[in-house]
Amino acid sequence: MRTSVVSAIVAARTMTGTCRMTTQQTIGFIGFGAMASRMGDNLKKGGYALVAYTPSGKGGDGSTPFLPSAANVAKKADIVLVCVPDDEALAAAMYGENGALAGMHENQLLLNTSSVSPEATDALQKAGEEKGISVIDCPVSGSTPEAEAGALVVLAGGDDALIARAQPVFDCIGKTTVHAGPSGSGARLKLVINGIMGAGLAAVAETIAYGLAAGLDRSMLFDALGEVAVISPHHKRKIRAAKDGDFTPQFPTRLMQKDMRLLLDAGARLAVPMPTMAATTQQLSLTRRAAANEDYSALIGVMEHIVANDA
């Protein structure tokens, strides 16, 4: 038992480095939204050139060339980095005659930073292996402020040699790389982390609603929660914004609700009981109906609205 515990700790080691590039390389982005564009800015600072494709056909301020298909991007790039919102978008971007895999060559590196299901992750790994493409699942933990600061935590699944090849890229977009294990481990670890984040926010929202309904002063309540150790720094940031009614999206509700749904499905496949995650998913489904594109902390506003008329 002791040996297995030590092995698990070693397998989950963290690595840090400096954003640097030894030779000029081009990163091809598939998806270039709020998170990816900020990652791209930091890669440019590290000396990388960028090309990009977005399914909408839109994007950019002119500083990054946009190409007409994912396959075109893959042909132009040394390394392909995909950052799309869900399984369906990943499939559309990767497969078919215009998909990235059609434009990639043997031994080319494909970095999948998307938060998608373990099944979609494993399918992409298998498809890559069939073409001799080196695939790393490497979703990131952090929101837009961390992406802008190059302070994401990269959750990477793959063998040591592949992670080493990708490390210069990871060092530009993140403060830490966690080698979670073999291929697919990064995607699974991301679901664990986001489940904790979602359930934590739901607990905050429910207890704030209780405090307001019980007659506590609103400003005192929000300020007090910013001082206590039981609230994480991430959730303290959400509470500060919610106090001002600011739900500017750093992590949109639609994406958090999607990740909770993926976690529930993954847990059910392994017969893991997750009643807390189920309840949180329902709360976020309600919030998605009301505020799909606002930050997922809009759940605090939803709960506050429910009790607002009780005074």
DSSP state of 96: S
In terms of domains, do 228 and 175 share one? no
pLDDT score for 21: 60
CATH number at residue 208: 1.10.1040.10
Whether 102 and 149 map to the same domain: the answer is yes
Range 16-38 burial, b when 16+ CB lie within 10 A, else e: eeebebeeebbbbbbbbbebbbb
Is the same domain home to 255 and 224?
yes
How many angstroms separate the CA atoms of 27 and 42, rounded? 12
- Is the same domain home to 123 and 176? yes
pLDDT at position 275 is 98
- Number of structural domains found in the chain: 2
Query: What does the pLDDT read at residue 55?
Result: 84
| pLDDT by 10s per residue, the chain, length 311 | 333 333 333 344 344 457 766 568 999 999 999 999 999 999 999 999 999 999 876 665 578 999 999 999 999 999 999 999 999 999 999 999 999 999 999 999 999 999 999 999 999 999 999 999 999 999 999 999 999 999 999 999 999 999 999 999 999 999 999 999 999 999 999 999 999 999 999 999 999 999 999 999 999 999 999 999 999 999 999 999 999 999 999 999 999 999 999 999 999 999 999 999 999 999 999 999 999 999 999 999 999 999 986 55
Characterise 8 by phi-psi region: left (phi > 0), alpha (psi -120 to 50), beta (else).
alpha
Report pLDDT for 60: 59
Q: Do 178 and 32 fall into the same domain? A: yes
71, 131 Cβ separation under 8 angstroms = no
- Say how far residue 66 (Cα) sits from the centre of its chain: 23
Q: Which of 59, 35, 38 is nearest to 252 (CA)?
A: 35
Any domain includes 7: no
Q: Is residue 113, in this structure, part of any structural domain at all?
A: yes
Same domain, 201 and 123: no
pLDDT attached to residue 56: 75
Report the candidate in 91, 86, 87 with the shortest Cα–Cα distance to residue 70.
Answer: 91
Q: Are residues 147 and 194 in the same domain?
A: no
Of 148, 183, 218, the residue that ends a domain is 183
Range of the domain at 164: 13-183
At residue 46's C-alpha, the angle toward residues 24 and 73, to 5°, is 55
At 51 the three-state DSSP class reads: strand
Nearest Cα residue to 28 out of 1, 53, 62: 53
- Asked if the structure places residue 311 within a domain, the reply is no
